[in-house]
Amino acid sequence: MIRLTWVQPEDLVGHELRQADEDGRARAHPARIREISERWHAAGGHDAPPRAGASEPGAARLRGPAEELLDELAELASPLEEPSELGEIRAACPGWPAPARHRADPARVLGAWQGRAAGCVLGKPVEKIPREGIREIAEATGNWPIRGWFTAQGLPAEVAGRWPWNRRSAVNSLAENIDGIPEDDDLNYPLLALSVLERHGRAFTTEDVAKVWLDELPAGRTFTAERVAYRNLLDGVEPPGTAVRRNPFREWIGAFIRADVYGWVNPGDPGTAAEYAWRDARLTHTANGVYGAMFAAAMCASSLVAGSAEEAVAAGLSVVPERSRLHEAVRLAVADAREHDDFERVVDALYARHGALHWVHTINNAALAAAALVHGGGDFTASVAGAVAGGWDTDSAAATVGSVAGALGAGVPERWLMRDSLSSSLTGFDGVSLRELAGRTQEMMGS
């Protein structure tokens, strides 16, 4: 029997109960949440595991009760002022930036693509390894603070046994085996965004994004919120219903990693970039999951013309509702980055505030990305290394940090440049060069 992860109702109830804790429903409806939780556990259901995925064998017997409870949880409204509609989001952002038109230096656009690729590949082999394990691996191989690719050469067997690599990633993302740019969802999604723009133009809709996904994106290459939304599309659900139907991952990091291209085609125009990212994100996400995409796109738009990382992060924050959890998390992360010389102390503060969140949630990873950029002060290596050393979604956070830092003007250091050929399972993209992608991105700026 093939057991699909992240889509079966019995795998989702525990995550939805945790989401209810995070979005205030547990406080607003305590008796109702408690009653649902008790019914779930009495039926034999489990809490959310630390790693999203399938539950134990035999859990399919819980499918009927799980569907019922998921639908009951969906009827409970969150009390938080965190809208998902664009007009309401803009109204909640008093500093929403005015439209602007700028020309981008092609070298900075290329730097953005190169930076995203480098940050992604740096974080790939240690994805799912906790912060302490990443440091022990790096220290054991003479790479702490992180200043180069991870390596298995010279890594003591006891350390390798304690902290095993992400096996599927380590085959092509260690210093000794990198040959070109390996495939990754953090790189496939920018390719899809570029495809959306090339096929449907700057007036693309959420429905256009969905069509491109169904045409080009293998379902097995989707995870968490994206896989749930994909399932919902196949069930005939239309956006934005795809983001909310039995989707407890709707505030996780998936939309955040899809947004860079929407920033790059709007250099110096973070407001328009955020709107583009919103159209994409609402296919799969709500509230802070959507804000994360808008934050990333606005940062990327600013990074092509900005003079500093702080300027880019501020542009990102300008499109995030001020009363949202994401806004507070990023604002405090920036303050921590300014206060502490030692980045480890910054990360300590982030874990103190966000350690209970899942490792692929938007809020903790966006806060880490902002802190790494501000603390790195434009230094590409320090910035991407900080994002990886933080130990949450290492390849995703470092990819976004790399795209911003790579665009800021100084470029990507030679040590991080790989053979210019990107592997991808997406039609027409396997073997594409980042130089070609940068040129195609530049063309979309004036379309």
pLDDT tens, residue by residue, 271-281: 999 999 999 99
pLDDT band at 59 (very low <50, low <70, confident <90, very high): confident
Residues 173-221 pLDDT 10s: 999 999 999 999 999 999 999 999 999 999 999 999 999 999 999 998 9
Give the pLDDT of residue 233.
98
pTM of this structure: 0.97
Tokens of 167: 């096996």
pLDDT for residue 4 is more than 90: no
Burial code of 144-173, b = ≥16 C-beta within 10 A, e = fewer? eebeebbbeeebeeeeeeebebbeebbebb
Of 97, 129, 131, 136, the C-alpha closest to 305 is 97
Q: Count CA within 13 A, CB hemisphere, residue 377.
A: 6
Burial of 34 (C-beta count, 10 Å sphere; 0-12/13-18/19+)? exposed
Give the pair of three-digit tokens for residue 423: 């592997």
Q: For position 60, what pLDDT does the model report?
A: 80
For the record, the structure tokens of 199 come out as 């096929």
Residue 1: per-residue pLDDT: 54
pLDDT at 50 over 90: no
Rounded to the nearest 5°, which phi and psi values hold at 422?
Answer: -100, 125
Q: How far is CA 13 from CA 37, 69, 243, in A?
A: 9, 7, 16
Residue ranges and CATH numbers for the domains of the chain are: 9-74 (no CATH), 86-120+182-445 (1.10.4080.10)
List Cβ neighbours of 257 (8 Å cut-off, separation of 6 or more).
185, 186, 189, 296, 396, 399, 400
3-state secondary structure (DSSP) of residue 347: helix
SS (H, E, C) 13-77: HHHHHHHHHHCCHHHHCHHHHHHHHHHHHHCCCCCCCCCCCCCCCCHHHHHHHHHHHHHHHHCCC
Task: Choose among 104, 160, 128: nearest CA to 50.
Answer: 128
- CA nearest 415: which of 374, 380, 391? 380
Measured between alpha carbons, how far is 362 from 326 in angstroms, rounded to an integer?
A: 8
Contact at 8 Å (CB) between 23 and 78? yes
Tokens of 182: 């390996």
Interior/surface letters 175-206, b for 16+ CB within 10 angstroms, e for the rest: eeeeebbbbbbbbbbbbbbbbbbeeeeeebeb
pLDDT reported for residue 167: 82
pLDDT reading at 57 higher than 60: no
Residue 435: count of CB within 10 angstroms of its CB: 13
Question: Which has the higher per-residue pLDDT, 205 or 59?
Answer: 205
